[in-house]
Structure 1
Amino acid sequence: MSEKVIQGKTLEQWKAEYPLMDKIICTEEAFWTNPKYGKFEDAIKKISLSEADVKDAEERLKRFAPYIAKVFPETQQTNGIIESPIAKIPNMQKKIEEMFNQEILGQLLLKCDSHLAISGSIKARGGIYEVLKHAEDLAIEKGMLTVEDDYSILDSDKFREFFAKYSIAVGSTGNLGLSIGIMSAQLGFKVFVHMSADAKQWKKNLLRSKGVTVVEYESDYSKAVEEGRKQAEADPNMYFVDDENSTNLFLGYAVAAYRLKNQLEEKNVVVDEEHPLFAYLPCGVGGGPGGVAFGLKLIFKDNVHCFFAEPTHSPCMIIGLMTDMHDKVCVQDFGIDNITAADGLAVGRASGFVGKTLQELMSGSYTAKDEKLYVLLSTLIESENIYLEPSALAGIPGPIDLFKTEAGQKYIENNNLKDKMKNASHIAWATGGSMVPKDVMEAYYKKGCELLED
Structure 2
Amino acid sequence: MTTEQIVFPEGVPESRPIWWRNTKYKSDTGIENQSKVSMDDLNGAVKSWMRFNDVLAELFSDISIGNGAQSELIHLNCSEFPSGCVLVKADHKIKTTGSIKGRGGVYEVLSYAEDILQSHGVGCRADPMALLSSEARNIFERYRIVVGSTGNLAFSVGMVGRKLGFRVEVHMSRDAKAWKKVRLRSAGVNVVEHDNDYSHAVAAARAVASSDAFTYFIDDENSVKLLVGYSAAALEISNQLEETGIRISHDNPLFVYLPCGVGGAPGGITLGLKNIFGSNVHCIFVEPVASPSMLVQLASGSVRPVNVYACGLSNETIADGLAVAQASMLVAEVVGHQIAGVATVLDDDLSEWVERMWTLAGLRLEPSGAAGFAAFARHGSVIRHSFDSSRASTNIIWTTGGSFFPDLEWASAREHGQRVLSSRPNSGG
TM-score (norm 2): 0.94
SS at match of 2:339: coil
Alignment of 1:179-328 (within 5 A): 179-325=156-302, 328=305
SS at match of 2:364: coil
CA deviation vs aligned residue, 1:383-404 (integer Å, no higher than 9, x gap): 1111110011111133344454
Alignment of 1:344-359 (within 5 A): 344-359=321-336
Answer yes or no: is the 8 Å Cα contact 2:64–2:95 preserved in 1: no
Alignment of 1:60-99 (within 5 A): 60-73=48-61, 81-91=68-78, 94-95=79-80, 97=81
Picking from 110, 113, 116, the partner of 1:132 is: 110
CA deviation vs aligned residue, 1:153-201 (integer Å, no higher than 9, x gap): 3223221111011110000000000000011111111100000001000
Using the alignment, how far apart are the partners of 1:327 and 1:178 within structure 2? 30
Picking from 47, 53, 73, the partner of 2:41 is: 53
Picking from 410, 422, 425, the partner of 1:453 is: 422
SS at match of 2:354: helix
Answer yes or no: is the 8 Å Cα contact 1:69–1:75 preserved in 2: no
Alignment of 1:412-431 (within 5 A): 412-413=387-388, 417-418=389-390, 420=391, 423-431=392-400
Radius of gyration: which is bigger?
Answer: 1
For residue 116 of structure 1, report the CA deviation from its aligned partner.
Answer: 0.2
For residue 26 of structure 1, report the CA deviation from its aligned partner.
Answer: 1.1
1:27 is aligned to 15
Using the alignment, how far apart are the partners of 1:31 and 1:331 within structure 2? 17
2:6 is aligned to 14
Picking from 86, 104, 108, the partner of 1:108 is: 86
Using the alignment, how far apart are the partners of 2:305 and 2:240 within structure 1? 38
Q: Is 1:411–2:386 an aligned residue pair?
A: yes
Amino acid of the structure 1 residue aligned with 2:266: P
Deviates more, 1:125-134 or 1:320-329: 320-329
Q: Is 1:436–2:414 an aligned residue pair?
A: no
Alignment of 1:107-186 (within 5 A): 107-149=85-127, 151-186=128-163
Answer yes or no: is the 8 Å Cα contact 1:130–1:248 preserved in 2: yes
SS at match of 2:373: coil
Using the alignment, how far apart are the partners of 1:403 and 1:55 within structure 2? 32
Which has the larger share of helix?
1
1:44 is aligned to 31
Deviates more, 1:126-135 or 1:317-326: 317-326
Using the alignment, how far apart are the partners of 2:246 and 2:62 within structure 1? 28
Using the alignment, how far apart are the partners of 1:310 and 1:403 within structure 2? 14
Amino acid of the structure 2 residue aligned with 1:65: N
For residue 263 of structure 1, report the CA deviation from its aligned partner.
Answer: 0.8
Amino acid of the structure 2 residue aligned with 1:147: R
Using the alignment, how far apart are the partners of 2:411 and 2:331 within structure 1? 35
Answer yes or no: is the 8 Å Cα contact 1:327–1:351 preserved in 2: no
For residue 105 of structure 1, report the CA deviation from its aligned partner.
Answer: 2.7
Identical-pair percentage = 38
Using the alignment, how far apart are the partners of 1:310 and 1:76 within structure 2? 31
Using the alignment, how far apart are the partners of 1:282 and 1:373 within structure 2? 11
Answer yes or no: is the 8 Å Cα contact 2:370–2:399 preserved in 1: yes
Gap change, CA 1:257 and 1:218, over 3 Å in 2 = same
For residue 85 of structure 1, report the CA deviation from its aligned partner.
Answer: 0.5
Answer yes or no: is the 8 Å Cα contact 2:113–2:131 preserved in 1: no
Gap change, CA 1:178 and 1:386, over 3 Å in 2 = same
Amino acid of the structure 2 residue aligned with 1:356: E
For residue 51 of structure 1, report the CA deviation from its aligned partner.
Answer: 3.1
Amino acid of the structure 2 residue aligned with 1:436: F
Using the alignment, how far apart are the partners of 1:306 and 1:355 within structure 2? 14
CA deviation vs aligned residue, 1:188-226 (integer Å, no higher than 9, x gap): 111000000010000000000110000000001001000
Amino acid of the structure 2 residue aligned with 1:82: A
Using the alignment, how far apart are the partners of 2:121 and 2:262 within structure 1? 36
Gap change, CA 1:301 and 1:105, over 3 Å in 2 = same
Q: Mark the runs of 5 or more structure 2 residues left unpaired by the alignment.
A: 424-429
For residue 88 of structure 1, report the CA deviation from its aligned partner.
Answer: 1.2
Amino acid of the structure 2 residue aligned with 1:440: E
Answer yes or no: is the 8 Å Cα contact 1:68–1:75 preserved in 2: no
Amino acid of the structure 1 residue aligned with 2:89: K
Answer yes or no: is the 8 Å Cα contact 1:154–1:187 preserved in 2: yes
